[in-house]
Chain A
Amino acid sequence: MTAAKYRWVRAPEWCPGCGHFGVLQAVYNAFAELDLDPAKTVLVSGIGCSSRLPHYVKTVSLHAIHGRAVPYAMGIKLANPSLEVVVVGGDGDLMAIGGNHLLHLGRRNVDMAVILMDNSVYGLTRGQAGPTLPAGLKVKAVPKPNLQTEINPLLLALTAGFTYIARSYSYDIKYTARLIAEAIRHRGSAFVHVYSPCVTYNNIMTREWYEKRVYKLEEADPQWDPVVRHEGETEAKIRKALDKIVEVDRLPLGVFYKNELVPTFEEKYRAVYDSTYGNTPPPLQPIARDGKPAVDLEKLVADRLL
């Protein structure tokens, strides 16, 4: 399918010039590049401007409640591992109210991708400070400078155990599409941090602000290689990623870390609980035959009988 074919009937309801348009186009492009089957792809979001994105895409989608996109998505993925599951959300949704879920997705390494659309403000409630707004900045809708120190989303993702960690900038659609496609293709939990400026409420971190700061890792260093190719180099690659993640004066874009040697949660579940998990996903297995339980109840209670 072409990128245009992934467009849903409704037009986006974002402010003109919003960074999210770039992410949306990048999602179309990435889905087209991967030729995803819209009926087997599920976009999941929480609440916020960015969380409206699934409504503009022709795939199955679940627009859930604030902060919980990640566990909804995990439930979908674990119930049917053959689905392609992608979470989108803003910094308030994924880093503040939903921060805990992000941590735990990382350590599980469920095979799905999370796209953070970061504009450092709460747009839909009119411009309060987001969890990624640097301390000391005063955005226009709030009366005082921000007292709370910002979260570095990639630092969090690395600590949590995400096995694919990348960052992009929404006005660079081509680059964003490439990283999103790579994240979806990645085997394990992938995290893509996209700077996606809010033109209405973030009067500081604007397009100009970002474009003065961002640079691409592979352009700055042609030898840049974030991929862990054997277990022995894991620690070294984590340290290299860390070194770049903590940069704040300039903002590196690109892939910081990628490790497919870590088993996914699905693989571990199969190894530990049930060797048939994944062959036929639970929704395709019969639960009843002629109205009677498909499970062998006699065997189930056998060791409890007197």
Chain B
Amino acid sequence: MNMHQRILRLLRQKNLVIGGSFVAIIVLMAIFAPLIAPFDPVSDADLMRSEMRPDGTFIFGTDTHGRDVFSRVVYGARISLSVGLITQIINTFIGVSLGLLAGYWGGKTDDMIMGLTNIMLSIPVVVFALAIMASLGPGLINLYIALGLTNWSYSCRITRAQVLSAKKADYVKAAHSLGYGHIRIMFGQIMPNILGPVLVITTLGAAEAILLEAALSFLGLGAQPPTPSWGGMLSSARNQFFTAPWLSIFPGLAIFVTVLALNLFGDGLRDILDPRNKAKNVGSKPK
């Protein structure tokens, strides 16, 4: 292997390393927000220092109400990450359960679930989330629900495929004839197989959910002021954009970095977990 390819390989792993470290930093930022943020994100308002440019005290400047933008961005990580986490837990739970049901029972149950999955895939995620928001009304909790219900088709399909192949495996039949519970055996076979793909799906799904939360909050449908959500901050800063651009630049940058980190991390995970990619890199002999 020459130098060039050595660097390439490092870079490939760097996806995971760089993405992972940024995700870790953002997670720590969210957990230790009270220690990091110099001001309270909501109550430390002072109209006397409204819309001040970034300086030594307020490194990201202040907003219209005189609140410290940096502190609000730090606290905003809590909302974005919780959106990523909660929606993906709901999505994975729905997807894996439906996939298990469809694969295990087959027949009409399978047809129904797969029909539903296909219809879900034919409705763009944003549109589906908007439909739920239209029904439930604006608000952060509703947003969790909306995003949690929209993006489970992929984990459903993968789980179903794994159940079907596990069902065919001879040793499952054999174990069954020995009186072992079918479900217990299949779980032993299925879980390790879907863990990798589901991990990749949830990481990339979290990135997508955070982006969507920001977009919907920007539309005014998500967290309502004064909650410090990045999308919400951008939404309230719309009218001050030309006069106080720092109000828009920093929350936007925070979203961008978070989503980028998750995407890099997810890509890196996929490179490691996908056997097809692995085979490509090992330089196996051609047929």
Whether chains A and B associate is: no
Q: Which residues of A approach B to under 8 Å, CB–CB?
A: none
Q: Which residues of B approach A to under 8 Å, CB–CB?
A: none
